[in-house]
A and B are shown apart, each in its own frame.
Chain A
Amino acid sequence: MNHVTSILSPVAALVLSPLLLGIINRTKAVCAGRCGQPLMQAYWELWKLLHKGAVTSYTTTWIFRAGPMISLAATLTAALLMPFANFDAPIHFAGDFVLFAYLLGLGRFFTVLAALDTGSAFEGMGASREVFFSTMVEPALLLSIAAIAREAIGNSILVDLTAMHHHISGPLWANAGLILIFIAVALFIVMLAECSRIPIDDPNTHLELTMIHEVMVLDHGGPDLAFILYGSAIKMWLLGTLIAGLLLPVTNWLLLDVFLSLTLLFLMAVLVGVVESVMARLRMVRVPQLLAGATTLAILALVLEYRIP
């Protein structure tokens, strides 16, 4: 596809990502027998927050105010690297998935620093647990993408996300379907961890038991909180698109591809909502075991790829 349509990948991320949050919340409401929030609630929240003032703690420095900006900027830049449906990513080059993972890491670095800037035990606890889980999520993410690269590329020298996306096809699924399923499960667990969903974290509360992501942003308000909310929605969209690209073979019919990708993304949001409804958050000592399990699935997928053909 040419460069003009490649702009549609980040545009889709910018416009449609808060809808994922709405779908998750609506699924949880349906499972709980409630009416639930409107589907567009996340958009109204962003609108409300952008119209508020701000109060900051006098312990904080400019890092507290810069944290949400840098984190959102990093997530937006990462959105430029992720292909969607049949469209290329606007920027793609060999090794861009490393840049993708490290841009998310840059956002996390400054979120944690903004949390430590408040000098509060709450944010400190959230920051401490966040960095602990991220040490286990990074290898899982990069090894999963290494597995996709090995399986999908074959003889081409291009190891970039767009090329991997285009190489997933029906015959590949017939040949190596189990491996792709392992990778998809590992990436799903990575998505749950990065976007702070159950069973790693509870996005509804910030009590001691679930003091991870929600509590890191406890002192932010107004436009800062809007940036953080939007950034997390886009991050969920990007990781969901990564999994959807893995699972969907690319046909060359534009509307069918877009329809299938959107459907799969919304189905994934429904799945996240169902997971949140049927499970409680894992005990803190079990979370590293889950994340290590994701890494093991990725390594297993890699080992299976060296099977004798």
Chain B
Amino acid sequence: MQLFLFGLAVLIGGGLVSLFCSRWARLANGIGGLSAAAGSILAAIPALQVLATGQPSELYAKNWQLPFASFALQLNPISAWFAAIILSLSALAAIYGIGYMRPYAGKKSLGASWLFYNLLVATMTLVVSARNGMLFMLAWEGMALSSYFLVAFEDEKPNVREAGRVYLIASHLGVAFLLAFFVLVGAQSGSLDFDKIAQTGNFTSQQANVLFLLAIVGFGVKAGFLPLHVWLPDAHPAAPSHVSAVMSGVMIKTGIYGVVLTLSLLGHPPLWWGWLLVAIGATSGVLGVLFALAQHDLKRLLAYHSVENIGIIALGLGVGFLGISLSQPTMATLGFAGALLHVLNHAVFKGLLFLGAGAVIHSSHTASLDQLGGLMKRMPWTAVTFLVGAVAICGLPPLNGFASELLIYVGSFQEEVFSGVGGAVPALAVIGSLAAIGGLAASCFTKAFGVVFLGEPRSENARQGHDPGLLMIFPMVVLAMACLLIGLFAPQVIPYLNPALSLLTHVSQDKLTLSMASATTVLASVTLVACILLGLIGLLAAIRYWLLANRQVGTSPTWDCGFAAPTPHMQYTASSFAEPIVDFHQGILRPSVHFHPPQGLFPDDAALETHTADLFMHGFYARLFGAAGWVASKLSWIQHGRLSLYVLYIALTLLVLLVWYFGIEPAVLPGIN
């Protein structure tokens, strides 16, 4: 643990030093980024050791004067899995951030930004390693606040300010539910230490149900379960790209960690918990990707995909919960294995995609899909790594997304075949929604990659695209390699999950290796098929080269049906590509279309603009908060500004309290009747 704490100290110390140096922008940038990377790597070493040995690290506990609190940190296998992912991605994003933040050198305080980045990484690590509820909540709050300041980095723009405000309010509404959760847990079990709660907290089934619902809402706001996701599509595009990568790749996973923690605190789950998680997963997954299809801002599209992938993780968790409820250990282990592996995979490919989007924005200064195009020739490295990320996120073999989705499929097939109706209906929901999500994600990423990188540039912005410097390319290449390697070597990665799975499902490690043996053989066969696939691609490429070696090979313009002057505006745009799907689902998506048709015999400009707002934000939350605001406005007569009446309010309140305390409960105070 010493190295772990030292790593955290390097993070926080480096951030403070960077803040003090903010007058010298390049120095602050360098110190901030390097301390973030170094601190993350140092703290990740103990986490990787825990994963390698399977034994939890020692408990570091110090007493704390706050009631119910103790500064207790420990890396058990589940925490180590999450911590390793958080710290690795943060290190890579920090290296990227050094290059990304350079253009802001004179204009904004880079030192402050790096302080908040390091604080974010440190608090996220504290959240997953805390063993006490009070420490957990304080770290959670620190995470929310530091990420708020990171989101609001470019606060001269009104949409960034708005996004930050929505994010702050949503975070704190989630925190309210979590506070209620911890208060009730502490009241029932007498302590907020997680180890003691697991042993002594005898929750009745009613209490456990209420606690589970509070936890789902509280952690779901952070994770991004639909309909609690409304802060995500605004906050992730507003933040700088390396922060978006960290927020989307690892910060929302702390919500998943919270759900997993709830399972270990509350004990044996009833059947409806798994049903609820499968329902949340199916709706988040399908609706998330549908909303992503309707977006024409690259980062907003990626943000909605985070909602979709959290849905996939929730599907895996649901299968796991159902496995525990139905006493089917194979189903439980496969479901949780798929969910935890998808946590890793999503961090890798979503981080890669956001870093790639950042590179596009860095050079072309626009994130609007309909302004981009033809960037493959101008930014080849970014394009290839983005392609790897896009293939991975669609869950296509041979990359890593397929491995985790396959585990969830196999887990739900076990369930479909072997349990009664109670387990089979959610299993079929899992299979159907994973299939639908796969198809929709493929359509969305062909749109994103095709419109941004292929074809001809649609604007002057796009013609200026160029590959960024080495500092920004290196993390993208590392993440792309990780996508391929995790996909091919998935059977070697899975055994590192065994200690975490054993903790979650309460199955001993020996019995667990039997259940996981089926998963490992499946993934080994997938690796074999993937190698055959790659070999066949190479073989066909060789055949094609040999066939065309002595033949006439030429270039010409694209077939344009004889039209004399084709322009880039004749290509399909992102909106037109997605139009059939958006139109088919317009009941859910409700796109607003502004159409100015060509008029007259010699028409001049015509225009078409479509915009899809978030249904839940505008249909539900806006109306809810509007109603709350209306009620509050009816009470605004209290706030008149007269100091004398304010003093009267204080006096009246004091009088009421005195009457209540002495008059209604006379027996409380000794010697007074």
The answer to whether B454 and A63 have CB atoms under 8 Å apart is: yes
B376 interfacial by beta-carbon distance below 8 Å: yes
Q: Which residues of A contact B374 (CB under 8 A)?
A: 59, 119
B478 interfacial by beta-carbon distance below 8 Å: no
Cα A150 to Cα B571 with chains together (Å) = 46
The answer to whether A159 and B553 have CB atoms under 8 Å apart is: no
The answer to whether B439 and A105 have CB atoms under 8 Å apart is: yes
Q: Which residues of A contact B410 (CB under 8 A)?
A: 94-95, 98, 159
Interface centre among A58, A80, A125, A128 (most CB of B within 10 A): A128
B540 interfacial by beta-carbon distance below 8 Å: yes
Q: Which residues of B contact A96 (CB under 8 A)?
A: 525
- Partner-contacting stretch, out of B83-91, B364-372, B556-564, B630-638: B556-564
Q: A94-B410, A116-B572, A138-B435 are in contact. Are A77 and B536 (CB under 8 A)?
A: yes
Cα A299 to Cα B436 with chains together (Å) = 14
Q: Which residues of B contact A169 (CB under 8 A)?
A: none
The answer to whether B558 and A57 have CB atoms under 8 Å apart is: yes
Q: Which residues of A contact B547 (CB under 8 A)?
A: 50, 223
The answer to whether A61 and B541 have CB atoms under 8 Å apart is: no
The answer to whether B532 and A143 have CB atoms under 8 Å apart is: no
The answer to whether B571 and A121 have CB atoms under 8 Å apart is: yes
Looking at the complex, which one of B413, B568, B584 makes contact with A159 (CB distance below 8 Å)?
A: B413
- Partner-contacting stretch, out of A36-44, A129-137, A195-203, A237-245: A129-137
The answer to whether A135 and B443 have CB atoms under 8 Å apart is: yes
The answer to whether A138 and B525 have CB atoms under 8 Å apart is: no
The answer to whether A61 and B376 have CB atoms under 8 Å apart is: yes
The answer to whether A93 and B525 have CB atoms under 8 Å apart is: yes
Q: Which residues of A contact B447 (CB under 8 A)?
A: 131
Looking at the complex, which one of A95, A108, A222 makes contact with B409 (CB distance below 8 Å)?
A: A95
Q: Which residues of B contact A77 (CB under 8 A)?
A: 529, 532-533, 536
- Partner-contacting stretch, out of A65-73, A181-189, A247-255: A65-73
Question: Closest CB-CB distance, A132 to chain B, in whole Å?
Answer: 4
Interface centre among B395, B396, B566, B572 (most CB of A within 10 A): B572
- Chain A residue at minimal CB-CB distance from B397: A102
Q: A59-B455, A153-B417, A159-B417 are in contact. Are A116 and B450 (CB under 8 A)?
A: yes
Number of chain B residues close to chain A: CB under 8 A? 82
Looking at the complex, which one of A119, A137, A150 makes contact with B558 (CB distance below 8 Å)?
A: A119
The answer to whether A124 and B529 have CB atoms under 8 Å apart is: no
Q: Which residues of B contact A58 (CB under 8 A)?
A: 555-557
A180 interfacial by beta-carbon distance below 8 Å: no
Q: Which residues of B contact A50 (CB under 8 A)?
A: 547
The answer to whether A219 and B413 have CB atoms under 8 Å apart is: no
- Chain B residue at minimal CB-CB distance from A132: B580
A3 interfacial by beta-carbon distance below 8 Å: no
Q: Which residues of A contact B548 (CB under 8 A)?
A: 53-54, 222-223
Q: Which residues of B contact A98 (CB under 8 A)?
A: 405-406, 409-410
Q: Which residues of B contact A63 (CB under 8 A)?
A: 376, 387, 454
The answer to whether B558 and A59 have CB atoms under 8 Å apart is: yes
The answer to whether B409 and A128 have CB atoms under 8 Å apart is: no
Q: Which residues of A contact B445 (CB under 8 A)?
A: 109
- Partner-contacting stretch, out of B299-307, B355-363, B424-432: B424-432
Cα A122 to Cα B577 with chains together (Å) = 12
B138 interfacial by beta-carbon distance below 8 Å: no
Cα A132 to Cα B553 with chains together (Å) = 34
The answer to whether B435 and A113 have CB atoms under 8 Å apart is: no
Question: Closest CB-CB distance, B372 to chain A, in whole Å?
Answer: 13
- Chain B residue at minimal CB-CB distance from A284: B580
How many interface residues does chain A have, given as a range? 35 or more
- Chain A residue at minimal CB-CB distance from B521: A93
The answer to whether A134 and B439 have CB atoms under 8 Å apart is: yes
The answer to whether B541 and A103 have CB atoms under 8 Å apart is: no
Q: Which residues of A contact B529 (CB under 8 A)?
A: 77, 80-81, 91, 99, 103
Question: Closest CB-CB distance, B569 to chain A, in whole Å?
Answer: 10
B581 interfacial by beta-carbon distance below 8 Å: yes
- Chain A residue at minimal CB-CB distance from B585: A135
Q: Which residues of A contact B540 (CB under 8 A)?
A: 69, 72-73, 227
Cα A109 to Cα B406 with chains together (Å) = 19
B37 interfacial by beta-carbon distance below 8 Å: no
A218 interfacial by beta-carbon distance below 8 Å: yes
Instruction: Decide if the interface of chain A is mainly helix, strand, loop or mixed.
Output: helix
The answer to whether A119 and B456 have CB atoms under 8 Å apart is: yes
Question: Closest CB-CB distance, B423 to chain A, in whole Å?
Answer: 12
A74 interfacial by beta-carbon distance below 8 Å: yes
Cα A124 to Cα B572 with chains together (Å) = 5
Cα A98 to Cα B405 with chains together (Å) = 9
Looking at the complex, which one of B377, B518, B536, B571 makes contact with A94 (CB distance below 8 Å)?
A: B518
- Chain B residue at minimal CB-CB distance from A124: B572
Q: Which residues of B contact A138 (CB under 8 A)?
A: 435-436, 438-439
Q: Which residues of A contact B435 (CB under 8 A)?
A: 101, 138-139, 141-143
- Per-residue CB contact flags for chain A residues 241-269 toward chain B (1 = under 8 Å, else 0) read 00000000000000000000000000000
The answer to whether B431 and A146 have CB atoms under 8 Å apart is: yes
Q: A93-B522, A119-B456, A119-B571 are in contact. Are A124 and B446 (CB under 8 A)?
A: no
B169 interfacial by beta-carbon distance below 8 Å: no
B554 interfacial by beta-carbon distance below 8 Å: yes
Cα A209 to Cα B487 with chains together (Å) = 40
Q: A80-B529, A119-B558, A150-B416 are in contact. Are A143 and B572 (CB under 8 A)?
A: no
Question: Closest CB-CB distance, B438 to chain A, in whole Å?
Answer: 6
Q: A58-B555, A135-B436 are in contact. Are A70 and B578 (CB under 8 A)?
A: no
Cα A96 to Cα B585 with chains together (Å) = 31
Cα A15 to Cα B435 with chains together (Å) = 31
Cα A135 to Cα B272 with chains together (Å) = 29
B8 interfacial by beta-carbon distance below 8 Å: no
Q: A63-B376, A96-B525, A223-B547 are in contact. Are A128 and B406 (CB under 8 A)?
A: no
Looking at the complex, which one of A61, A73, A109, A218 makes contact with B442 (CB distance below 8 Å)?
A: A109
Cα A288 to Cα B432 with chains together (Å) = 17
Q: Which residues of A contact B28 (CB under 8 A)?
A: none
Q: A142-B435, A146-B428, A223-B544 are in contact. Are A132 and B584 (CB under 8 A)?
A: yes
Cα A223 to Cα B457 with chains together (Å) = 29
Question: Closest CB-CB distance, A41 to chain B, in whole Å?
Answer: 21
Q: Which residues in window 577-595 of B have CB below 8 A to A?
A: 577-581, 584
A157 interfacial by beta-carbon distance below 8 Å: yes
- A-B interface, 6 closest residue pairs, ranked by CB to CB distance from nearest: A124-B572, A116-B450, A119-B455, A131-B443, A138-B439, A135-B439
10 additional contacts, CB 8 Å, given A53-B552, A105-B396, A138-B435?
Answer: A99-B397, A99-B529, A103-B529, A117-B455, A122-B561, A135-B440, A135-B581, A142-B435, A150-B417, A227-B544
Residues of A at the B interface (CB closer than 8 Å) are 50, 52-61, 63, 65-66, 69-70, 72-74, 76-77, 80-81, 91, 93-96, 98-99, 101-103, 105-106, 108-109, 112-113, 116-122, 124-125, 127-129, 131-132, 134-139, 141-143, 146, 149-150, 153, 157, 159, 218-219, 222-224, 227, 288, 299, 302, 306
Q: Give 23 A-B contacts (CB < 8 Å), ordered by A residue.
A: A57-B555, A57-B558, A59-B456, A60-B558, A77-B536, A94-B518, A103-B397, A103-B533, A105-B439, A108-B442, A113-B454, A116-B455, A117-B450, A120-B559, A125-B572, A128-B577, A129-B580, A131-B447, A135-B440, A135-B581, A142-B435, A219-B558, A222-B551
